[in-house]
Chain A
């Protein structure tokens, strides 16, 4: 661990002094109607660090608006091209101004103004060429663990997830907190039954109450959605209670004290471990809080995560726009079948007698390689999934963040 403690790497220095581990140009569609043009603009640049993100809805949404502003000014983003149809309700000017004020180069193409699809693609490609040239001159800067923010999700879990990959990520989280990093965990919907266990880790009594409330809110919300929390298949796999099932996912958070509670797009103010409350406030509307893994990943990135640990048993293949995803495969059989998609084989804990601590060291070494610029499996395969939907949140309360 001593060697890792002193590890540094070359990141990208942003005008506000923050540091990124990638230098991506994002092409952003502001309504689904502009999605095709955005995708076409990027096609000749498949081998460059250029990702398509966007918001499909035409009705305005404060959450989506904020998510887009946070994502377009993420530390891994060097420059931005906005692609607008023209008549959508997205507040394009505000997004444009936010990006410009962050010191990043930003351009926009409005399809209706420029004369349609072909003209928009042509102009967009010229902008992308100049943005790619501009981000080549972003200054490099030494980064260390204290500069780093990580997030974690699981997807395609199976009976191995809770005993191999998730505990190994938990140990990695403990190590990263000791190294001065910031780590975010989420999915309060998977903490039902663990309110007491989890909330006790809050650093203040007031935060403990907020943590407990976040899980209670998740339970109410998922009940309305008709989300079954404990299925017969869980019992066949040896799980006996809802708290046991929840624990298998929650163990990713490790054992460090919880410094704060954030909502998507909130940036942790100081280093430490944070719970992200992903469940909307108010009466349930707009459907499931996060309908798939990619929407969870986007929220972690909007809160500043440079890199994501993704644990999977059945074998998810996703990566993400903006931030590299390190895939940690819980199941050795899945790993054998899908090796090219998996960065880490945590199944070894069951099949080869590797300890959880040894696996955590392996994850930390993979992280050091990744933040230093070596592509993860999903990056090498060209994955850049991105999903953003409708939600509504109240701002977090004063007792949620460390003073």
Chain B
């Protein structure tokens, strides 16, 4: 069975179905990707290149924005995405006029 699970056709990320061990190699979209770190169930992996500022799509909807360029196979998590929501609601004064 596939180690990764693609939840929706529009998604730019897949989730880890079976835990990934360090140095596991998984072929994503024809490209072999070597994993530097172990990743548990539910974590997200980019299945296409995502540019800084672009929306991350999971379940077919935006779940946040990329804070850096993300390569295919890269772990997508707190270090490279941020909530659209928190930006809107925690920095209202700075961002509403943009």
A contact set with B: CB distance below 8 Å? 159-160, 162-163, 167, 192-194, 197, 235-244, 247-248, 251, 350, 353
- B68 adjacent to chain A (CB < 8 Å): no
- Which residues of chain B are near A248, meaning CB under 8 Å? 59
Given contacts A247-B63, A353-B1, contact A242 B16 (CB under 8 A): no
Nearest CB on A from B17, distance (A): 6
Residue of A nearest to B64 (CB): A241
A247 touches which of B16, B59, B86 (Cβ 8 Å)? B59
Q: Which residues of A contact B15 (CB under 8 A)?
A: 163, 238
Question: A163 — which chain B residues lie within 8 A by C-beta?
Answer: 5, 7, 15, 42
Contact residues of A: prevailing secondary structure: loop
**Set of chain B residues within 8 Å of A193, measured between Cβ atoms:** 83-85
**Nearest residue in B to A239 (C-beta to C-beta)?**
B42
Known A192-B85, A243-B84; contact A197-B62, beta-carbon cutoff 8 A? yes
The contact sample of 5 A-B pairs, CB cut-off 8 A, is A163-B15, A235-B78, A240-B63, A242-B85, A350-B5
Contact yes or no, B41 A159, CB < 8 A: yes
B48 an interface residue at 8 Å Cβ cutoff?
Answer: no
Q: Which residues of A contact B77 (CB under 8 A)?
A: 235, 238, 240
A238 touches B83 (CB 8 A): no
For residue B81, CB closer than 8 A to chain A, the reply is yes
A237, A243, A350: the one contacting B64 at CB < 8 Å is A243
On chain B, the number of residues with a Cβ less than 8 Å from chain A's Cβ atoms is 27
- Distance (whole angstroms) from the CB of A312 to the closest CB of chain B: 17
Which residues of A sit under 8 angstroms from B43, Cβ to Cβ? 238
A197 to B5, CA, bound (A): 23
Q: Across the A-B interface, give the 10 residue pairs with the lowest CB-CB distance, nearest first.
A: A238-B42, A238-B43, A241-B83, A244-B63, A193-B85, A241-B64, A159-B42, A247-B59, A197-B61, A237-B42
Residues of B within 8 A of A350 (CB): 5, 17, 41
Q: Given the complex of chains A and B, what is the CA–CA distance between A247 and B41 in angstroms?
A: 17
Once A163-B5, A235-B77, A350-B17 are accepted as A-B contacts, the answer to whether A242 and B83 lie under 8 Å apart by CB is yes
The distance in angstroms between the C-alpha atoms of A251 and B16, with both chains bound, is: 19
- Interface 1/0 per residue, B39-50 and A, CB below 8 Å: 111111000000
Interface presence of B82 (CB below 8 A): yes
Please indicate the chain B residues that have their CB under 8 angstroms from the CB of A244 in the complex.
58, 63-64
Give the distance in Å from the alpha carbon of A240 to the alpha carbon of B77 in the complex: 5
Q: In the assembly, what is the distance between CA of A360 and CA of B42, in Å?
A: 21
Whether B76 is near chain A, meaning CB under 8 Å from some CB there, is yes
Q: Within 8 Å CB of A239, what residues of B?
A: 42
- Chain A residues near B62: list those with CB within 8 A: 197, 243
> Are the CB atoms of A251 and B59 closer together than 8 Å?
yes
CA distance in complex: A242, B63 (Å): 8
Contact B44 A240 (CB under 8 A): yes
